[in-house]
Amino acid sequence: MRDDIDLHIHTTHCGCANETMSVPALLERCDELGYRHIAITDHYNGEQHDEPQKRIQEDLRDYDSPVAVTWGVECTIADAEAETHTVTEELVAEFGYDFVIGGPHGRYEATEPDEIIETQHRLMLATVCNPIIDVLVHPWWFSRREFEQGTMSWFTDMSRIPPWHVEELAAACVENETSVEMNAGGIIHHPHFEQQMLDDYREYLADLCERGVTFTLCSDAHDIDRLEWAKDAAGFLVEAGVPDEQIFVPEPSDLS
């Protein structure tokens, strides 16, 4: 079991994670938790994140910790119609990212359940096929707000997702060497995902695994007390029958 890694972590700089997530504090906590390798992957959703990303990079230059760190970024969909992402090849070159993770973060105007599923599938495929993206983040995550305003309240299990979607996604992942993320914060600890959803999700990962897909795992922590959730993601992958050999760990970055 890979309970010694966390490959999707936010920091205080982008304003999404809270003030507990300063770079030195999170590195220290990861060391205490026994993590040997982590990836810092804060958001890049647009120009507003230029300065925060530079500040994270500066913090990492003063890095002094036994924990190996991969310098990464999380992107989202820039234009759902054009199927583009907020991180481009130019940005990867500018910031020197060694690890790009991303995926859809909403419904993108779709309103009917089958239309929402179709849109997610299309945007997940576009993510997996984007050559700069290493990992598809949290498949089938939707924000808490979507459930509270009723737009996703029908989504209590995964029975509506056609099997051919899973087959197509798995084939695209294998062909493009893109991994699928097991995200504890976004899935296991989602406030609106109950037992049936989690049971179906485990089956979904098992199905992808049998088709040769590789996985990463993470806390997706936005608060320092949530970093330990990566261990739940590691346990969930074990329950889904994913062997350690099918867990992808990127190379550590040279931060100097």
Kind of pairing, strands 179-183 and 135-136? Answer: parallel
* Contact string 66-95 vs Zn ion (x = CB under 5 A): --------x---------------------
Name the residue nearer to Zn ion (CB basis): 143 or 244. Answer: 143
DSSP state for residue 80 in the 8-state scheme: T
Name the residue nearer to Zn ion (CB basis): 211 or 222. Answer: 222
Question: What is the distance between the alpha carbons of residues 207 and 250, in angstroms, rounded to a whole number?
Answer: 23
Name the residue nearer to Zn ion (CB basis): 59 or 74. Answer: 74
Name the residue nearer to Zn ion (CB basis): 144 or 196. Answer: 144
Question: What is the distance between the alpha carbons of residues 204 and 226, in angstroms, rounded to a whole number?
Answer: 24
Give the shortest CB-256-to-Zn ion separation in angstroms: 26
Instruction: Give the Å distances, CA to CA, from 47 to 42, 43, 86, 89, 113.
Output: 14, 11, 9, 15, 33
19 Cβ neighbours under 8 A, 6+ residues apart: 12
Structure tokens at 106: 């909403």
Assess 42 for contact with Zn ion (CB under 5 A): no
Interface pick for Zn ion out of 220, 227, 230, 236 (rule CB under 5 A) = 220
The size of the interface with Zn ion (CB under 5 A), counted in residues, is 3
Sites of contact with Zn ion (CB under 5 A): 74, 137, 220
